[in-house]
Amino acid sequence: MNAQDLSAFPMALQGDNVPMVSFKNVTKSYGSLVVLDALDLDVAEGEMVTIIGPSGSGKTTVLRMLMTLETINEGVIYVDGEPLTHMPNGNGLVPANRSHLRKMRSKIGMCFQHFNLFPHMTALENCMEGPVHVLGLSKKEARERSEELLALVGMAEKRDQHPSRLSGGQQQRVAIARAMAMRPKVMLFDEVTSALDPEVIGEVTNVIRKLVAEHNLTMLMVTHQMGFAKDISDRVCFFYGGRIEEQGTPDELFGNPRRERTQQFLSAVKEAV
């Protein structure tokens, strides 16, 4: 192992306007294939950042690293001012151990392309599992919280159904409620509409719109729904070849893309619609 020099990275981010999420010089590679190349990305508290780009550009990897589903090779990720991938030890940072990861993970929730609901549990049980067994809530509290969230996503009536009895859009809405039940500070949406039939995409995007409107959540979203991204995002990042090729407000990026690759990508996407 050639350990990277971590002395350049602070043990915590301090001061005013500490970003909720901060990637500092983060590199991820599989063997010689570099998936993310020295990524620097800050997401402010309450900000909605959408990541777009061609497949293989590293979009999903950004979310998976934040959820600690992937390790990183270089750099440090900070969440809520504290290092996520590393932890303070004496005067410097060392790679995070399991208990540090568990502590930090509680700040982050994620929804997946294929929902990943637990098939042997009902919608309600899916939502209650984490609050009861991770957060230590009583069954009653967890049930109240879960029912509230299932109502928010319009799934209150289906709370006693198993996932196999639910449509894709319904499963994804339950998955959103399940993630929200952990009260994360950061929510990650990884292509949550990509596996859905076109006619049910709206029911999931509407739920996300509602979350943006009603909760002060920090969100990172990977999507191919350009219209939705344009409507909802505070900022859009276009990824290409493991780097942020261009970023800006939706108006800037969609209305007036400056980089050639962004223009090519957006016109290719437009043609496909």
Beta pairing partners, 82? 79
Token couple for 206: 């509407």
Q: How far apart are CA 15 and CA 1, in angstroms?
A: 34
Q: Does residue number 158 form part of the binding site for another protein (CB under 8 A)?
A: no
CA dist 272 and 268 (Å) reads 6
Options 111-119, 140-148, 200-208, 234-242: segment touching another protein (CB under 8 A): 111-119
Q: How far is the CB of 123 from another protein (least distance, A)?
A: 11
Asked if 220 interacts with another protein (CB under 8 A), we say no
Q: Which is nearer to another protein, 17 or 164 (CB)?
A: 164
Q: Does 118 bind another protein (CB under 8 A)?
A: yes
Task: Show the tokens assigned to 162.
Answer: 């198993």
Beta strand 108-111 with 186-190: parallel, antiparallel or unpaired?
parallel
Candidate residues 87, 149, 155, 182; the one interacting with another protein per rule CB under 8 A = 182
**Could you say which of 50, 57, 122, 171 contacts another protein (CB under 8 A)?**
122
Per rule CB under 8 A, is residue 209 in the interface with another protein?
no
The reply to whether 134 sits near another protein by the rule CB under 8 A is: yes
168 touches another protein by CB under 8 A: no
**C-beta separation of 127 from 109 below 8 A:** no
Q: Which of 38, 88, 162, 206 binds another protein (CB under 8 A)?
A: 162
95 is a site residue for another protein (CB under 8 A): no
Asked if 170 interacts with another protein (CB under 8 A), we say no
Q: Would you say 216 and 203 are in contact if contact means Cβ atoms under 8 Å apart?
A: no
Shortest approach of another protein to residue 14 CB, angstroms?
26
102 lies in the site for another protein, by CB under 8 A: yes
Contact present, 66 and 76 (Cβ < 8 Å): no
* CB neighbour list of residue 63: distance below 8 Å, 6 or more residues apart: 51, 110, 188, 189, 190, 220, 222
Give the 3-state secondary structure of residue 88: strand
Tell which one of 8, 12, 69, 268 touches another protein (CB under 8 A).
Answer: 69
Helices (H) and strands (E) in the chain, counts: 9, 12
Q: Which of 116, 156, 224, 266 binds another protein (CB under 8 A)?
A: 116
Distance of alpha carbon 246 from its chain centroid, rounded?
19
Nearest residue (CB) to another protein, 127 versus 253: 127
Interaction between residue 270 and another protein (CB under 8 A): no
Q: Does the protein bind another protein through residue 266 (CB under 8 A)?
A: no
Give the pair of three-digit tokens for residue 120: 């042997």
Where does residue 32 rank: exposed (0-12), middle (13-18), buried (19+ CB within 10 A)? exposed
Q: Which of 189, 190, 179, 183 lies closest to 209, judged by CA?
A: 189
Q: Is 183 an interacting residue with respect to another protein (CB under 8 A)?
A: no
Query: Considering the rule CB under 8 A, would residue 106 count as an interface residue with another protein?
Result: yes
Interface positions with another protein (CB under 8 A): 67-69, 102, 105-106, 108-110, 112, 114, 116-122, 129-130, 133-134, 162-165, 178-179, 182
